[in-house]
Amino acid sequence: MTAGFYLGVDVGSVSTNLVVVDHQGEVVEKIYLRTEGKPVPSVQKGLSRLGGVFKDQEILGAGVTGSGRKLIGKVLGADLVKNEITAHGTAALYANPETKTVFEIGGQDSKIIIIREGTVVDFAMNTVCAAGTGSFLDQQAKRLNISLKEFGDLALRSRVPVRIAGRCSVFAESDMIHKQQMGYNIEDIVAGLCEALMRNYFNNVGKGKEILPPVLFQGGVAANMGIKAAFEKELGYRIEVPEHYEVMGAWGAALLARKTGEKTGFRGFSLSDREIRVESFECPDCPNCCEIVTVVIDGERIPGWGGRCGKWEKSFSQATG
């Protein structure tokens, strides 16, 4: 068997995750970074770290997922660009082939994936309300001056969780402040916030879905044992947090990259030291006036995207010829 590895990258609004797997699909290296509104520099930072461990010739394929997948796919020369549902579902089935339901809660969105007989058959996403995402918990933890780990530990110590309105992040925060002013214990307030997020998730993302075990809980919020406990209390059975819960999207992208079976287009870990610019312009060739996005690496412009006709997906020289 040819020696080598596969790279997976998941670029989200909050975190950027990179995973390297071997031929069997096992994770051999993973990196979790904050995106901080700068997806390209965050990926470059991750590539720099990996470059010290792996050589370019050892990467046989690269896959990308996440909200920034189109941009980073172009930058990396990725062999495969997939949506988050496919990537998370693939990783969940690798972690537990019997998986029937996936809960995924990230920093800015949440999703549910329904799997039957090893195939994704349904899904739903919530990208509108922050009350059902990790950013909401992050904000409240900072307001209470506690770490996210303490947040979960405090919730587990609660005896009587406080009922907090969870349909809206603004109302939830106001309600939490009101409960503090009334003198409720911090443990009960924090547990109440966890249960509010759980109710928001089921009322929005999980509404109308047939939730069957085994259930895998993925995404950065899965580290919060208070949220996990709230889900288990509602469902009446235990849910599973996989070992690589925080990088499941990147893991799935790497697993999918193993199946490309072609010579990789990955531009190498040296991308970490190259000058990369993102530019855009309005195509004047028809009344649609599409906004075209292109990437420039060390002065070389690579194919762009954004047009309805697809002409900019070709090489830049062809598109302008």
Cβ–Cβ < 8 Å for 54, 266: no
| Cross-strand pairs, 277 | 296
CA distance 154 to 305: 47
Which pTM was predicted? 0.87
pLDDT value at position 18?
Answer: 98
Closest CA to 201 of 149, 132, 154: 132
CATH architecture of 97-241: 2-Layer Sandwich (3.30)
Could you tell me which residues come within 8 angstroms of residue 145 by beta carbon, excluding any fewer than 6 positions away?
none
Mean pLDDT of 215-240: 93
Residue 123 clears pLDDT 90, i.e. is over it: yes
- For the segment 61-70, what is each residue's pLDDT rounded down to a tens digit? 999 999 899 9
Q: Tell me 240's DSSP state.
A: B
Beta strand segments in the chain, E: 5-11, 15-21, 27-34, 59-65, 80-81, 101-105, 110-116, 119-126, 215-218, 276-282, 291-297, 300-305
- Return the H-helix or E-strand segment holding 226: helix 225-235
Residue 318 clears pLDDT 70, i.e. is over it: no
CATH 3.30.420.40 maps onto the chain at: 5-89+250-273, 97-241
**Count of CB atoms situated within 10 Å of the CB of 134:** 25
3 state SS of 301 = strand
Please report, in angstroms and rounded to a whole number, the separation of the first and last CA atoms in the chain. Answer: 44
Q: Tell me 163's DSSP state.
A: P
- For the segment 256-289, what is each residue's pLDDT rounded down to a tens digit? 999 877 789 999 999 999 999 998 889 888 988 8
- For the segment 168-224, what is each residue's pLDDT rounded down to a tens digit? 555 666 767 767 667 678 888 888 888 888 888 898 899 899 999 999 999 988 988
Q: Which two tokens stand for residue 156?
A: 């587990």
- For the segment 62-100, what is each residue's pLDDT rounded down to a tens digit? 999 998 999 999 999 999 999 999 999 999 999 999 999
Determine whether domain 5-89+250-273 maps to CATH 3.40.50.1000: no
pLDDT value at position 165?
Answer: 65
Using the CB atoms, write b or e for 283-317: b if 16+ within 10 Å: beeeeeebebbbbebeeeeebbbbbeeebbeeeee
